[in-house]
Structure 1
Amino acid sequence: METTEDTASLKRVFGLPTLVIYGVGDILGAGIYAVVGKIAGLSGAFVWASFLVAMSVAALTALSYAELGSRFPLSGGVACFVHRAFRTEWLSVVVGWLMFCTCLVSMATLSKAFAGYLTTFAPIFPAWLVVLALFGGLALINFRGMQESSSLNIFCTTLEVSGLLIVILVSALFVSGGAASNAAVAVPVVSGQTLGWVAIFQGAALAFYAFIGFEDIVNVAEEVKDPERNVPRAILLSLSIAGVIYILVAWLATQVLSPAELSASGAPLLDVVLRAQPNFPGVVFTFIALFAVLNTALLNFITASRLLFGMSRDGLLPAWFSKLHATRATPYRTIVVILPIAIFLALSGTLQFLAGTTATLILAMFCLVNLSLLIIKRREAETEGFRVPAIVPLLALGSNVVLIAFASRESHLLATAFTGLGFLLVLMRNALMKQKAT
């Protein structure tokens, strides 16, 4: 019996250190490279406070994920938790659809950031051409197939973190030398009014985009040694490490450049490095930033194409999407469908709008996660493992709703449209199932 279970299970390769590295790499990714300037346009010199609020909200939901990951150390993540709590298949379909939409809009966001860094360093290329070339390259890599490994993830994480450490180091030296920007240390004013909590929370609603990723740790729970203990620890440690780095980068960035300069920049962290240390080779930091954005965008593309493929294979979408390429064995049809939608979003939306929509979608899913934990805690008896009091998911649910409320109206509209399409998908699926039954 043991042999059967072992052969049917995934190999447990993640210890706590490698799982923390996986989590930190997933969280840091490209979010901070993309949105720090736009957050400065909302909360001024209090960018660090927006990141602190976003981290606090993320930490509450992370605690809920930690308990759920301890209770159900299975791959599947949010869809698994929601199905366990609500026991309704249609809601799991909607959750899968929202996950797909989150990946799609995030891809568009990252393409804007990629174009911003590249055109700042090499302005001869128009932004629209960079976006098209990026998506063409990502589609080709996705089509050819990509074999991920723990060692590759460690390399990617090291490179991405090195860019943020460069920002921290050169900015700290700049500030310690007494050259901090006067505009940065002044109290920020917008339209004659001092910025307050509203601006900080508006910035936090956008900053939440940079914290997306900690929830992915539960998706590899079946590959973790002693998951009941290591999954909760890894979630909390990863979020803490990423949060400290973000707050340091955000605070130092506003000491080097004014919030207005950060907001107007297409490559905010590159401009921070070059202002703080003009002799630093810009090509090095540009390469790091481009790689961070490219790597995260590719992972989003792969995830989105596999989500469509999986939903089709499970009968939730037409079977046409589940066709694999004859030689590459990749879901090429999903790639063909995703590509024009992502390009349209990237060329028609601003970075701030797209990042805000991504954060709104993920916050909506986190609401379902916290609600699921409340239902599970009430229904099922408490057992050993990582547990939090019921007040934690309740506070997490409330804080998620608050940040959604502070997102832009345009982000609300697009997120609502995607959600509406998800419900329409469920109705069409149910109608097809009834038709087949008769």
Structure 2
Amino acid sequence: METNEESTSLKRVFGLPALVIYGVGDILGAGIYAVIGDITKPSASLVWVSFIIALVVAAFTALSYAELGGRLPKCGGVAHFVQQAFRIDWLSTLVGWVMFCTCIVSMATISKAFAGYLMASIPVLPEWFLVILLFAALGYVNFRGMKESSLLNLVCTAIETSGLLIVILLASIYIFGGAATTAPVVAIQPETGWTGIIGGASIAFYAFIGFEDIVNVAEEVKNPERNVPRAIVLSLAIAGVIYIAIAWLAVNVLSPTDLAGSKAPLLDVVTRAQPSFPKLIFTFIPLFAVMNTALLNFVTASRLVFGMAREGLIPTWAGKLHPERATPYRAILVILAIVIVIALAGTRELLAGTTATLILIMFVLTNLSLLVIKRREPIISGFQVPLIVPAIAVLLNLLLIAYAQQKSHIFALGFITVGALLILLQNTLKKKQLT
């Protein structure tokens, strides 16, 4: 029976399998398809080591998210965690802004890759048109609801995962069948060595972004205290194994120089490993991969805005749900406008680096929040990690931030500054209304 009254709660539609698929689909995709060449530039044949380091850093923070997701299963993600830990409204709002920026800058990055792949097949279509078309379609799916978004996620995850499995299969046959000339392992040099490997890891970290999005749909999960922690750990483990395997195989099929210079690195790996494989098929698989990641970032950003508005951290206008679809339609419209502008203004490399830097900053604050919460409430039922886990995670995240490109630091700081100014403006307006 339909009603015109506005819904006040989200629908619980995720079980553990669907939530793991959601997480794997969010992690896999755009990162490995788009940036493996950029990771190879500093780390050369040891690109797979960069992926291992990035996975280790992500794993420590993922464990922190797993406990926080079980303790505090609500929309708002890290903004909600920081609010519960420090109870400082302006800090929580700023953290929510950083998370929001991470989502929309990642979406902008992905849209550039989507347009690039499609323009390779249909060069008559301009980039700006494809970017707007992508976001309009994803906005509509997001508006329709989580069931529709989850169904599209399922389809895209199956397609993008099949593409990665094709890479693993064909590259393995090529290498272990004796056709490959194994690329020489680059020795660790004093002047580049671990600096290059860790620099590559700071970029590879972008490929692991996504596990944290699971906590932002916690209110749409059945039995979230149990399923959210398990889904985070399982999703990251599955994605990590696939990434490391592909990175090792890729530099044994193509030379590091060829891989680093490729505009479609995994397509080139497939073409070298099996020249007779239909190139058109693998040309379109990345489209589904990047579209899937953009969709899940869109869902996360809209739920984040909804959660922050409901807690009074931003104007409540943005937290209204559609009376029939029970989706945050106003947040979706705001995100559409912002992300299109950013996508048309930036380059893929700059946007990817800025995304990784922003999310590392957010992860530092997440782990600090868990340290505070665990000291305040040391004993709970459910998933727990030792205090040393978030402490190590803070140090590892700071290490990768230090190795990120300077341009990424500048643009990340710019987004944070904009957020701080908006918060200051909002607080000033509130004070004037009270007086």
Query: Under a length normalisation based on structure 1, what TM-score does the superposition of the two structures give?
Result: 0.87
133, 138, 144: which one aligns with 1:136: 133
218, 221, 224: which one aligns with 1:221: 218
Tell me, yes or no, if the aligned pair for 1:120 and 1:267 is still in contact at 8 Å.
no
- Shift in CA distance, 194/430, structure 1 to aligned 2, threshold 3 Å: closer
Alignment of 1:68-217 (within 5 A): 68-121=68-121, 124-125=123-124, 129-139=126-136, 141-142=138-139, 145-149=143-147, 150-182=150-182, 184-187=183-186, 195-217=192-214
TM superposition shift of 1:96: 1.7
TM superposition shift of 1:181: 4.3
TM superposition shift of 1:339: 4.7
Report what 1:414 is aligned to.
411
Matches of 2:305 and 2:71, distance apart in 1: 28
Query: Under a length normalisation based on structure 2, what TM-score does the superposition of the two structures give?
Result: 0.88
- CA deviation map 1:158-198 (0-9, x unaligned): 1111110011001101111223345x334279xx9774111
TM superposition shift of 1:89: 1.1
Tell me, yes or no, if the aligned pair for 2:89 and 2:313 is still in contact at 8 Å.
no
Matches of 1:256 and 1:290, distance apart in 2: 23
Report what 1:39 is aligned to.
39
Report what 1:372 is aligned to.
369
Matches of 2:35 and 2:278, distance apart in 1: 23
TM superposition shift of 1:419: 0.8
Among all aligned residue pairs of Structure 1 and Structure 2, give the percentage whose two residues are the same amino acid.
59
How many residue pairs end up in the alignment? 423
Matches of 1:385 and 1:318, distance apart in 2: 34
- Larger deviation, residues 9-18 vs 396-405: 9-18
Report what 2:352 is aligned to.
355
TM superposition shift of 1:336: 5.9
Matches of 1:151 and 1:140, distance apart in 2: 14
- CA deviation map 1:111-163 (0-9, x unaligned): 232244334455x458xx23442323423552573433244332221111111
Tell me, yes or no, if the aligned pair for 1:108 and 1:345 is still in contact at 8 Å.
no
Report what 2:399 is aligned to.
402
Gaps of 5+ in 2: 1-6
Q: What one-letter code is carried by the residue in structure 1 that aligns with 2:19?
A: L
- Shift in CA distance, 188/115, structure 1 to aligned 2, threshold 3 Å: farther
TM superposition shift of 1:377: 1.0
Report what 1:266 is aligned to.
263
Tell me, yes or no, if the aligned pair for 1:105 and 1:345 is still in contact at 8 Å.
no
TM superposition shift of 1:413: 0.4
Tell me, yes or no, if the aligned pair for 1:44 and 1:195 is still in contact at 8 Å.
no
Matches of 1:76 and 1:116, distance apart in 2: 32
Matches of 1:417 and 1:276, distance apart in 2: 43
Taking only aligned residues, the RMSD between alpha carbons, in angstroms, comes to 3.0
Tell me, yes or no, if the aligned pair for 2:107 and 2:339 is still in contact at 8 Å.
no
Q: Secondary structure at the match of 1:24?
A: helix
Answering whether residue 289 of structure 2 is matched by residue 285 of structure 1, we say no
TM superposition shift of 1:294: 1.9
Q: Secondary structure at the match of 1:377?
A: helix
Report what 2:4 is aligned to.
none
- CA deviation map 1:342-381 (0-9, x unaligned): 23333xx2x2322111011011111111000000111124
- Larger deviation, residues 407-416 vs 302-311: 302-311
Q: Secondary structure at the match of 2:146?
A: coil
Report what 1:29 is aligned to.
29
